[in-house]
Amino acid sequence: MSRSAHPAGPRHADVLPEGHFSPPPTDLNALDPRVWSRTTTRTEDGSVTVGGMDVARLAEEFGTPAYFLDEEDFRARCRAWRAAFGEEADVFYAGKAFLSRAVVRWLTEEGLNLDVCSAGELATALDAGMPAERIALHGNNKSTAEIERAVEAGVGRIVLDSFQEIVRVAHVAQRLGRRQPVQIRVTVGVEAHTHEFIATAHEDQKFGLALADGQAAEAVRRVLKLDGLELTGIHSHIGSQIFDMAGFEVSARRVVGLLTEVRDEHGVELPEIDLGGGLGIAYTPDDDPREPHEIAKALGDIVTRECESAGLSVPRLSVEPGRAIVGPTAFTLYEVGTVKELEGLRTYVSVDGGMSDNIRTALYDAEYTVSLVSRASTAEPMLSRVVGKHCESGDIVVRDAFLPADLAPGDLLAVPATGAYCRSMASNYNHALRPPVVAVREGAARVIVRRETEEDLLRLDVG
């Protein structure tokens, strides 16, 4: 079967493919360092290595689909965040992006704290030895059991999300004879998502207590009256995959505004503020994320300035990056199974995974890039759509991509920047077995989350 290359666009408007793809890259073999993890490179013989390991060998040893996580890159990003924020601030890694015991150990060693949002994440953190005082518990509907587990363990922070929760946490703390440090999560009236900065309709959401209608101030009043709770600060998280610092600046200003009100009303200066996570990463070379030191400077400056003008001492700042730490450090490796060419339109390339290991394309219309990594190719670029093996047409991994026209079953494709919210949101749809996560570093690879087996699936099915 011959597969012709498709030039940058279709010839007829009536077969115009949907999507907004850029023209084909000049060199399909190049691995753009903006989207690949630090140690991923193509060698002169055309093979690709990560952490000093040959990717085709990794596929043989660990199978596909699989996530390969560049441990050196992960640790370097942790260190960059720590160094940028310095001793006067705390960096809480958001475990929802991807959490495993190995990750917890790396975080512990690199001096990061950890934000968890469920009993499962908390159990993983404690089991792998994260000191409880470095853990923060989040969630808009924490169960009493989750609260008990957290208070009993002695977590350093519970972020209160509702009036009901204030009472629940206070009861648990009292019963266990503890005084639990808490922050109050407020909605500041900005919601920022990918390149957008929307200043309306933001309080209309399930999280937090609004500043605008006085709920946040009322929450402060209630918490300050309860002996079991020690109010340490105010928390705000404004969205995901954010590139523009303007939303954070508004958020910081409004949070400091509340600290000022609290001082004026109660004579109390709260010692902490947390500005959440949400910092964007490059999924494609068009994305232009901020570096940790730029983020730290922008946030530090605005908090300092606002506090000085309000006559407040500067509180201890914390942030909660998840995606920005783990996202760029992993790629998903797939094997090509079938290749279906639609003349004049595009070529559908089916891989051995799909929406069960990366739901983000189907769910958020997320954009990814993809490269042939088992060999180099000099073939023409072919407009392709990388799809999975699940039983629905929305099962798309990479909507629009150029791949070499000699692509064939058995070739290996890698999709970079899948470290965040891919394994953590993976499912067993169609009874797919969730892929392993393999950490690679300095010429060694080890499984940190193993591949699911049919026995795992059947064990849950108790007949």
Q: Is 279 in the site for ligand LLP (CB under 6 A)?
A: yes
Q: Is the peptide bond before 131 cis (omega within 30 degrees of 0)?
A: no
Cα distance between residue 172 and residue 152, in whole Å? 9
CA angle 240, 190, 159 (to 5 degrees): 70
Q: Give 360 or 389: the residue with its C-beta nearer to ligand LLP.
A: 360
Cα distance between residue 315 and residue 325, in whole Å? 24
Minimum distance, C-beta of residue 2 to ligand LLP, in the bound complex (Å) = 39
Minimum distance, C-beta of residue 425 to ligand LLP, in the bound complex (Å) = 6
422 is known as an active-site residue: no
Minimum distance, C-beta of residue 28 to ligand LLP, in the bound complex (Å) = 27
Instruction: Tell me, residue by residue from 351 to 380, as one string, x for binding to ligand LLP by CB under 6 A and - for no binding.
Output: ---------x---x----------------
Phi, psi of 18 (to 5 degrees): -70, 165
Six-digit token pair at 190? 């900005």
Q: Is 276 in the site for ligand LLP (CB under 6 A)?
A: yes
* 154 CB burial (10 A radius; 0-12, 13-18, 19+): middle
Number of residues that bind ligand LLP (CB under 6 A): 21
Stretch binding ligand LLP (CB under 6 A), from 91-99, 291-299, 333-341, 408-416: 91-99
Minimum distance, C-beta of residue 322 to ligand LLP, in the bound complex (Å) = 3
Length of the chain equals 463
Q: Is 385 in the site for ligand LLP (CB under 6 A)?
A: no
Q: Which of 275, 207, 288 minimizes the C-alpha distance to 247?
A: 275
* 346 CB burial (10 A radius; 0-12, 13-18, 19+): buried
Q: Which of 436, 432, 350, 437 minimizes the C-alpha distance to 397?
A: 350
Q: Which listed residue (324, 376, 398, 440) binds ligand LLP by CB under 6 A?
A: 324
* 2 CB burial (10 A radius; 0-12, 13-18, 19+): exposed
Q: Is 142 in the site for ligand LLP (CB under 6 A)?
A: no
Q: Which of 92, 96, 123, 88 minimizes the C-alpha distance to 110?
A: 92
The SS3 of residue 427 is coil
Q: Which listed residue (421, 426, 435, 437) binds ligand LLP by CB under 6 A?
A: 421
Q: Is 97 in the site for ligand LLP (CB under 6 A)?
A: yes
Minimum distance, C-beta of residue 13 to ligand LLP, in the bound complex (Å) = 34
Q: Which listed residue (3, 42, 237, 385) binds ligand LLP by CB under 6 A?
A: 237
* 222 CB burial (10 A radius; 0-12, 13-18, 19+): middle
**With the CA atoms of 198, 199, 204 and 206 taken in that order, what torsion angle do they form, in degrees rounded to the nearest 10?**
70
Q: Is 51 in the site for ligand LLP (CB under 6 A)?
A: no
Minimum distance, C-beta of residue 129 to ligand LLP, in the bound complex (Å) = 22
Q: Is 322 in the site for ligand LLP (CB under 6 A)?
A: yes
Minimum distance, C-beta of residue 446 to ligand LLP, in the bound complex (Å) = 25
Instruction: Considering the candidates 78, 117, 307, 391, report the single residue annotated as catalytic.
Output: 391
Q: Is 138 in the site for ligand LLP (CB under 6 A)?
A: yes
Q: Is 278 in the site for ligand LLP (CB under 6 A)?
A: yes
Cα distance between residue 103 and residue 127, in whole Å? 12
Six-digit token pair at 458? 């059947």
Q: Is 320 in the site for ligand LLP (CB under 6 A)?
A: yes
Q: Is 323 in the site for ligand LLP (CB under 6 A)?
A: yes
Q: Is 208 in the site for ligand LLP (CB under 6 A)?
A: no
Stretch binding ligand LLP (CB under 6 A), from 74-82, 98-106, 316-324, 347-355: 316-324
Binding site for ligand LLP (CB under 6 A): 94, 96-97, 115, 138, 237, 240-241, 276-279, 320-324, 360, 364, 420-421
Q: Which residues are catalytically annotated? A: 391
